[in-house]
Homo-oligomer: A and B are copies of this chain.
Amino acid sequence: MLNTSIIGASGYTGAELAAMVLKHPHLQLAGLYVSENSLDAGKAISELHGQLRGRVDLPLQPLTDTAAVVNTSDIVLLATAHEVSHELAPIFLEAGCQVFDLSGAFRVKSDDFYTQYYGFAHQYAQWLDEAVYGLAEWNSDAIRQAQFVAVPGCYPTAAQLALKPLLAAGLLDTQQWPVINAVSGVSGAGRKASMANSFCEVSLQAYGVFNHRHQPEISAHLGTDVIFTPHLGNFKRGILATITARLAAGVTPEAVSEAMSAAYHQPGEQAVRLLGHQAARLQDVVNTCFCDIGWQVQGQHVILTSAIDNLLKGASSQAMQCINIRNGFAPLTALVG
């Protein structure tokens, strides 16, 4: 049994992680932590997340002493703000823990990126270099060796899982940038009070046009420019991405289908479900670890639809896939069945 601690356990992602660790046959919940001055410190996690009542009633402890976490943890999950992960990850890594960071602090191997998109100067070039990008279906070899995994963002997961097979097979004409439109549920904004998240203010709308931080994350890891437009939707969970791209000259519909099938040919090992020419539907993936992908080709264009649960495949269940891969467990342990 590997002892597992969750830092930032008061949020929606933290609650999902706690439930997964509990279900996992090889993991044991070592501790749930919140920041030192959080108003939630001392409460049971189930006070905040009523669905956990009677299942996970552990207290949220204030993170006053990282050494105490180190002493009791083989694995540390960081479900913390970017700046907090940036400070904490090196501490737990240097103490020898496996660290799975769900924030954006170590996802892109470029210092400038953090100054421009996250508003802080990155201080840990070495750990940034060491971090393995945890897109589970594509980086499993590296993840298997990693002490430190930067779990991808929610939109980047949905977008890359759809586009990578076509790019890897050289089927796209990237002179025309793929256009990624995506709609996320409100939980993507985290558990907090704000006017933007206020029930009466939520309404389908684009945001972060041309300047969302997930655009460079997607571009960096795809190795091609993209146009990415996120939207807020009037639902709690899930992301649907609709992607329009131009095919390279002479690419047939069959070639597209073959590339998709080749990339995701291990259903029990991979959390991707291929829909063929059907369009992905949000409701089929919510509360599951799956990414559903459908596609259609017409003339020189392909349209892909890709759906995930933003809190699961877009965060916590992908982190768990990485833990499973790193530690030699079946990749979908605690995630299906």
In whole Å, how far is A50's beta carbon from the nearest beta carbon of chain B? 3
What 0/1 pattern do residues 27 to 62 of A give for CB contact below 8 A with B? 000000000000000000000001101110000000
User: Quick one: which of B197, B273, B281, B290 contacts A205, CB cutoff 8 A?
Assistant: B281
Give the complex CA separation of A193 and B195 in angstroms: 5
Give the complex CA separation of A303 and B203 in angstroms: 19
| B236, A199: Cβ atoms closer than 8 Å | yes
CB neighbours of A177 from chain B (8 A) = 301
A311's closest neighbor in chain B, by CB? Answer: B200
Closest 3 CB pairs of A and B: A50-B284, A203-B283, A186-B199
Give the complex CA separation of A144 and B275 in angstroms: 44
What 0/1 pattern do residues 263 to 296 of A give for CB contact below 8 A with B? 0000100000100000111111111101010001
A127 within 8 A of B: no
A134 within 8 A of B: no
Stretch of A66-74, A115-123, A149-157, A227-235 contacting B (4+ beta carbons < 8 Å): A227-235
| A23, B209: Cβ atoms closer than 8 Å | no
In whole Å, how far is A160's beta carbon from the nearest beta carbon of chain B? 19
A238's closest neighbor in chain B, by CB? Answer: B204
A207 within 8 A of B: yes
CB neighbours of A286 from chain B (8 A) = 51
Q: Assuming A179-B244, A207-B279, A273-B53, is B191 touching A200 (CB within 8 A)?
A: yes
A204's closest neighbor in chain B, by CB? Answer: B282
CB neighbours of A280 from chain B (8 A) = 205-206
Tell me the number of copies of this protein.
4
A172 within 8 A of B: no
A305 within 8 A of B: yes
Which residues of A are at the interface with B, using a C-beta cutoff of 8 A?
12, 22-23, 50-51, 53-55, 176-177, 179, 181, 183, 186-187, 191-195, 197-207, 209-210, 227, 229, 231, 233-236, 238, 240, 242, 244, 267, 273, 279-288, 290, 292, 296, 298, 301, 303, 305, 307, 336-337
Q: Assuming A192-B198, A281-B203, is B210 touching A303 (CB within 8 A)?
A: yes
| A290, B240: Cβ atoms closer than 8 Å | no
Give the complex CA separation of A292 and B51 in angstroms: 10
Give the complex CA separation of A280 and B202 in angstroms: 13
| B194, A197: Cβ atoms closer than 8 Å | no
In whole Å, how far is A290's beta carbon from the nearest beta carbon of chain B? 7
| B234, A290: Cβ atoms closer than 8 Å | no
User: Quick one: which of B54, B192, B203 contacts A273, CB cutoff 8 A?
Assistant: B54
